[in-house]
Amino acid sequence: MKRNINIFLVSLLIAFASCSFTSKSFDDPDKDKLLMQLITYLLEQGHFEPKDINDELSVGVYTRFLDQMDPFKNYFIQSDINEFEQFKTELDNQILAYDVSFFNLVYERFLIRFEDSKNRYSQVLQQPFDFKLDEVYSTDYENSSYVKTKSQMFNRWRKQLKFYTISNYHDLIIAENKLRELDDSYSAKPLSEIESKARASILKTMTENFSLLEDIRRQDWLSVYINAIAEEFDPHTFYFAPSDKDRFDAQMTGKYEGIGARLQKRMDQITITELISGGSAWRQDKLEVGDAIMKVRQEDEQEAVNVVGMRLDDAVKLIKGPKGSNVILTLKKVDGTIQDLSIPRDEILLEETYAKSTKVVKDGVTFGVINLPKFYIDFQDYNSRNAATDVKKEIELLKTEGMEGLVLDLRNNGGGSLKTVVDIGGLFIDKGPIVQVRSTGNNKEVLEDKQRGIDWDGPLVILVNELSASASEILAAAMQDYKRAIVIGSKQTYGKGTVQNIVDLNRMVKANTNGDMGAFKFTTQKYYRINGGSTQLEGVKSDVVVPGRFSYLEMGEREQDNPLEWDEIEPANYKVWQNSFNYETMIENSNSRLNSSVEIKLIDENARWIKAIRDQDVYQLNFEKYSHNIDLNELESKRFDELSDYHSELIFQPLSHELPIMKQDSVFKINRNRWHENLAKDIYMDEALNVLNDLKNSYSTGNTAQLKD
């Protein structure tokens, strides 16, 4: 499949050459026009599912671009929008003509409005806020209207800055109260001084933010416009400006220094979207996907920087730092509580990104667990270490320990190499199809395990969650379609069933005198299950659904803008696994246990409460009411404390070959012990082992005929 994609890309490059994309081919040799021509050509000729560049797309680009230029509606006024609207259905014509007139109009107007606002925040923050006043602030920016007058704009800024300040004010009040509790003789600061300090902190942050905004070049804003076009095709199609391309190239080297977390900005909040396996935050096991970062403080500084409303790149710069130092994050946790967390900066420990296994004895039976953080591979040398060979090795080691059932843990596994998925699937079946792939301009291709023999033919359970994506979904789907494994976890997995390729735009230009053009990532493939259904949007629906903290939150591909639709093709030729147990009965038994579990009911209640907290978009600016709401949230969160106290009676043990390693390598020992302790507190793993026990009691390894010749 990689060979076919490479052939496709080469054919595109040949086509590019024949089109003679050079600055000399234009009457106007402007770089913007050249860039628009390149991007438009790729979208029309290379995208897996190209769209008509018409009025409908024009409206989407128009709306997206304005939302990204002014997400809080703090700059443009209604008269600006009235002027812009004449282009709402005209952008398709401009795009096809490689014309950026609309961008120029909006950009130049933005510069004017930005200058108007430069003194506005300082004017607001010069005056004390009245936190006794009864008023609220709405963060539903999408449905807010543009203001018509300067006084309305001033009031909008006042409320927004008051919203930012009240958080600081609350923190300082709490700190004062703690000092009084510790020392009866402590002389409390007057409220006016505390309010002034809270305001000064926001003033410093806003001044820094405006300074950074002033440094943004026109070319950066043009990238925003180009991506407003690209993202109308699908959420994973994206233009990398030269500076963005450099950062992407650095990430692809696989070596990171920092806390090991991926961030995303949605409106004014910066949230954690992924913890990188092996990173310091992952090892610390306290930061969670969904946590929102409110403030960042360096360990050698007293004052934290408020990052609410800050550009993502600028917040990342604050979080990054030299290896061995610490950064303190003020987090709004997924349950709404506020917490300071000190995280060490470090390199990712590569060993922790690889497959690892453990054994556990339940009711006198030995079971194995393999954790696979990602589907890794060295594309230059497949015979070197990769996910498939490592999983195979772990299976063999577990078999020597007397394993009678296996849990394959794919939770939080964001995917990786397609080849390793096929090879890992082949460990559990006696040859047959694993996944179907359609590529741009090609018919479907069925990727099969062609090796005779099965490495593990015993009971198998696969654990997934909402963050199991791409390659994880392919493997779970294949084992589910064969009825080879029971899938336990979230209602559905992430739902990313597409593949992207990146083209260096400089390769498309002859005699380029315009400088670095950047790169373009676009969708070229789509995955399908062997039963014919796509994993796009729908992901893999678990056989046994276990509620989790994220059960009701908006996560996954279906929550992205303009995702490709779910569809289906003809199923591949396969036969279900021949077994001696009743698949449906095993699922019913598990559901019966879960329905009677007090802990599972509490997890579901917690998930619903977290959803309610996350949906809140109106906040009190009256301090008494603001504090009361925080106190209520913290009180409610304590109701779920017992979930963190859950501990099964299971004891997870290292494999025999690891014992001498643990004696010699203290870091390895610490990481293994921490993993084993977490597994013992993992209610989902507990139920996976219950299912394995059921399977083992009714399982016979004698019936494994499937696709036999």
Tracing tokens 């989790």 back to the chain, one arrives at 548
- Using the predicted structure, report yes or no on whether residue 25 has a pLDDT greater than 80: no
Distance, in Å, from the CA atom of 670 to the CA atom of 496, rounded to the nearest integer, reads: 34
The amino acid present at 404, given as its one-letter code, is E
Q: What is the mean pLDDT of residues 90-100?
A: 96
Q: What is the mean pLDDT of residues 328-350?
A: 82
Distance, in Å, from the CA atom of 664 to the CA atom of 669, rounded to the nearest integer, reads: 9
pLDDT-derived band of residue 317, with 50, 70 and 90 as boundaries?
Answer: confident
- Using the predicted structure, report yes or no on whether residue 284 has a pLDDT greater than 90: no
583-642 per-position pLDDT tens digit: 889 999 999 999 999 999 999 999 999 999 889 999 999 999 999 999 999 899 889 988
Q: What is the DSSP string of 233-282?
A: T-TT-EEE-HHHHHHHHHHHTS--EES-EEEEEETTEEEEEEEPTTSHHH
Residues with Cβ within 8 Å of residue 709, at least 6 apart in sequence: none
For residue 138, the cross-strand partners are 618
Q: For the chain, how many helices (H) and strands (E)?
A: 23, 22
Which among 522, 479, 488 has a CA at the least distance from the CA of 502?
Answer: 522
Provide the pLDDT for residue 268. Answer: 67
153-211 per-position pLDDT tens digit: 999 999 999 999 999 999 899 989 888 888 888 888 999 999 999 999 999 888 888 88
Cβ count within 10 A of residue 12 = 20
> What's the Cα-to-Cα distance from 585 to each of 479, 545, 590, 683, 695, rounded to whole Å?
18, 15, 9, 21, 10
Q: What is the mean pLDDT of residues 681-707?
A: 76
Provide the pLDDT for residue 256. Answer: 47
Provide the pLDDT for residue 668. Answer: 86
Q: Exposure pattern of 584-603 as b/e (b: 16+ CB <10 Å)?
A: eebbebbeebbeebeebebb
Looking at domain 256-347, its CATH superfamily turns out to be PDZ domain (2.30.42.10)
Mean pLDDT of the chain: 87
Q: What is the mean pLDDT of residues 462-489?
A: 96
**Residue ranges of the domains in the chain?**
256-347, 350-697
Residue 550 CB burial class (10 angstroms; 0-12, 13-18, ≥19): buried
Given a contact cutoff of 8 angstroms between Cβ atoms, the answer to whether 407 and 360 are in contact is no
Which among 371, 323, 370, 368 has a CA at the least distance from the CA of 348?
Answer: 323
Given a contact cutoff of 8 angstroms between Cβ atoms, the answer to whether 564 and 501 are in contact is no
> Domain 350-697 has what CATH class?
alpha beta
